[in-house]
Amino acid sequence: MHSRKLGPDGPPVSSVGIGGMSFGPFYGETTEAESHAILDAAREAGIDHIDTSNVYGAGRSEEVIGCYLARLDGPSPFRIATKGGITTDPDTGARRFDNSAAHLKAELDKSLKRLGVDQVELYYVHRRDPDIPIEEVTGTLANLIAKGKIARFGFSEIAPTSLRRAAQVHPVAAVQSEYSLQTRAPELGLIQACEELGTALVAFCPVGRGLLTDTPPTPQRVEASGFLKTNPRFTSENLPRNIAASQPLRDLARDLGHSTAALAIAWLLTRSETVIPIPGTRSTDHFRELVAGANLSLDADTLAEIDRHLPPGWCHGARYSAAQSIGPEDYC
């Protein structure tokens, strides 16, 4: 497994990580045994970076990882990233964001307990709180480093301008953003800022929530996911359009002798040395397809063919619905 650097002063980590959202019921029900099988497969493949959050399954993802680590002898084989900053209004139950020092510290302590560790490698602010300057939040995170609770920190779904403001206070190890052949907004400034600052660009949903695979979501799978069934790219109108539009990638992958998921991961790794995809799955077979992308070498002709079939803007529907788009920062 090749490695990439986790931030300007960070350690090398596997060039592909694991997204722990699938360890909760976000895309459908799963079991602890299935999640642990993914972690076993990750270790066999040389993957040492795992990404989770306090809100994935209301802490279930962290608990599953913590239970797995508790069964092992010796130190953790993973460099763990988790997140805080998303919460709910106690009066209305509506989702809101809290980047206060008290909230981030309290949620981190809960995450550490669920994970069964004293420190995480990376702690993200999951969504920015617009009422608190990012410079102040960066100071809070730097203090958590000083206390030894985290080794480094990052931000999820922020604009390049916000990254630069934060980096003036303290080096930012990583920015997490959706990035794939169907979501290419990071190419309009975020990749460039990450390269300039030495920040890792951790790419979630690198196979387009399943659209860039050999088995794209069916209407039944979409209906079973609370997120997908309200997402514009998976509506009854747009899902068949997007499956048809992405079919040339499946055809190309078949002709090359690869899975579509592996080809999509390999393409993403060519975009910048800062990019670290973190695919998630509930299937060990699919996981091995994803990991295979880390070892594919794509020549210029293949890259040109991919871009010809799936140029920027090919996907039908917005990335998020109006409700889902609250929180991520727009910058292009």
Q: What is the 3-state secondary structure (H, E, C) of 47-66?
A: CCEEECCCCCCCCHHHHHHH
Tally of residues, the chain? 332
For position 31, what pLDDT does the model report? 86
In 168-299, alpha helices (H): 190-197, 219-223, 238-256, 260-269, 284-292
Question: What number of other Cβ atoms are within 10 A of residue 210's Cβ?
Answer: 21
For position 225, what pLDDT does the model report? 84
Query: Is 29 a residue whose pLDDT tops 80?
Result: no
User: What are the tokens at 274?
Assistant: 């800062």
Tell me the percentage of the chain whose pLDDT exceeds 70: 99
For position 95, what pLDDT does the model report? 85
CA 172, 174, 177, 182 torsion-angle sign = positive
Q: With beta carbons less than 8 A apart as the criterion, state whether 58 and 25 touch.
A: no
Using N-to-C axis directions, what is the helix angle for 238-256 and 300-309, rounded to 10°?
160
**Interatomic CA distance for residues 35 and 44, integer angstroms:** 14
Q: Read off the pLDDT of each residue in 75-90 and give the average, rounded to a whole number.
A: 92
Non-local CB neighbours of 86 within 8 Å, separated by 6+ positions: 53, 54, 55, 95, 96, 97, 126, 127, 327
Tokens 């790219």: give the residue.
Answer: 233
Q: Which of 87-96, 217-226, 266-275 is least confident? A: 87-96
In the chain, the largest separation of any two C-alpha atoms, in whole Å, equals 57
Tokens 């993973």: give the residue.
Answer: 78
Q: With beta carbons less than 8 A apart as the criterion, state whether 7 and 174 touch.
A: yes
pLDDT grade for 30, boundaries at 50, 70 and 90: confident
Query: Is 109 a residue whose pLDDT tops 70?
Result: yes
Q: Read off the pLDDT of each residue in 242-254 and give the average, rounded to a whole number.
A: 97
Query: Is 24 a residue whose pLDDT tops 80?
Result: no
Active site residues: 56
Q: Which of 87-101, 171-185, 260-274, 287-301 is least confident? A: 87-101
pLDDT digits (tens, 9 = 90+) for 169-185: 999 999 999 999 999 99
User: Phi, psi at residue 285, to the nearest 5°?
Assistant: -65, -45
* Cα atoms in the Cβ-side hemisphere of radius 13 Å centred on 318: 9
Average model confidence (pLDDT) across the chain: 94
For position 27, what pLDDT does the model report? 67
Query: Is 88 a residue whose pLDDT tops 90?
Result: no
pLDDT digits (tens, 9 = 90+) for 129-172: 999 999 999 999 999 999 999 999 999 999 999 999 999 999 99
Query: Is 306 a residue whose pLDDT tops 70?
Result: yes
Query: Is 208 a residue whose pLDDT tops 80?
Result: yes
What does R_g of the chain's alpha carbons equal in angstroms?
19
Which has more pLDDT, 58 or 191? 191
pLDDT grade for 28, boundaries at 50, 70 and 90: low
Q: Read off the pLDDT of each residue in 54-62 and give the average, rounded to a whole number.
A: 90
DSSP 171: -
Name 95's bridge partners.
Answer: 88
